[in-house]
Amino acid sequence: MQECTLAANDLACRRGDRLLFRGLSFALAPGGALQLTGSNGIGKSSLIRILAGLMPAFAGTVQREGATGLLDEKPALDPHQPLGKALGFWQQIDGPEDNQMARLGLANLLDVPVRYLSTGQKKRAALARLLGQRAPIWLLDEPLNGLDTKGVSLVEELAAEHCRGGGICVIASHQPFAIPGLTRLELREFAA
């Protein structure tokens, strides 16, 4: 895996006229895992979007070394295509995948249009896309939503493997997330 680091320096986030948080800083080295916690509307998803480079910070800077993969509530899969073709589109860009379909419980769903998948199946399909990217920095926004107990364990296992392999994970989640070495950052402590 390529070398990776991720750091936030004195970040502030404003949505509309409302300042959500300010003075937020952290640094992650290879193998680092950070869970962003806090109530609805406090800015967890906004922070993930800032870290991904999809939203500008109101103040502060983000320093990133290494490619970034994002998993959020909107999987980047064509809803009208069968799952196999939707993932195949990304394989043409990312290169061949290291066949995780059986492990993700998707092997029997490759001919099902993405729009007919359950919430948990769509989440696992988004994980397949994330794995195919081979990005060393994972930004996971509510990765456990819609998953059953087995699915939750699988996501935790994949994140732990990613970090053990030298990757970085930032997880925004209301739910407990169990991986070794995980630190937690409570956004309430930086509320404006």
Whether the Cβ atoms of residue 125 and residue 77 lie closer than 8 Å to each other: yes
Is 189 contained in some domain? Answer: no
Residue 6 confidence (pLDDT) above 70: yes
Query: Which CATH number do you get for residue 75?
Result: 3.40.50.300
Is 7 contained in some domain? Answer: no
The proportion of the chain whose per-residue pLDDT surpasses 70, expressed as a percent, equals 97
Is 20 contained in some domain? Answer: no
Is 60 contained in some domain? Answer: no
pLDDT per position as a tens digit, 70-106: 998 887 888 999 998 998 888 777 766 666 778 888 8
The CA distance from 8 to 133, in Å, is 23
When pLDDT is cut at 50, 70 and 90, the band that residue 107 belongs to is confident
Residues 6+ apart with CB under 8 A from 153: none
**pLDDT at residue 99, rounded to an integer:** 66
Is 13 contained in some domain? Answer: no
When pLDDT is cut at 50, 70 and 90, the band that residue 4 belongs to is very high
pTM of the full structure: 0.91
Whether the Cβ atoms of residue 85 and residue 41 lie closer than 8 Å to each other: no
**pLDDT at residue 71, rounded to an integer:** 92
Is 5 contained in some domain? Answer: no
As for how many domains the chain has, the answer is 1
For helices 119-133 and 83-94, the axis angle rounded to 10 degrees is 20
**pLDDT at residue 142, rounded to an integer:** 92
When pLDDT is cut at 50, 70 and 90, the band that residue 133 belongs to is confident
pLDDT per position as a tens digit, 17-47: 899 999 999 999 999 999 999 888 889 999 9
**pLDDT at residue 101, rounded to an integer:** 78
Range of the domain at 70: 30-54+66-184
Is 141 contained in some domain? Answer: yes
pLDDT per position as a tens digit, 149-173: 999 999 999 999 999 999 999 999 9
**pLDDT at residue 1, rounded to an integer:** 59
**pLDDT at residue 36, rounded to an integer:** 96
**pLDDT at residue 76, rounded to an integer:** 83
Is 108 contained in some domain? Answer: yes
Exposure of 39 in the CB half-sphere (CA atoms within 13 A): 5
**pLDDT at residue 98, rounded to an integer:** 62
pLDDT per position as a tens digit, 134-143: 899 999 999 9
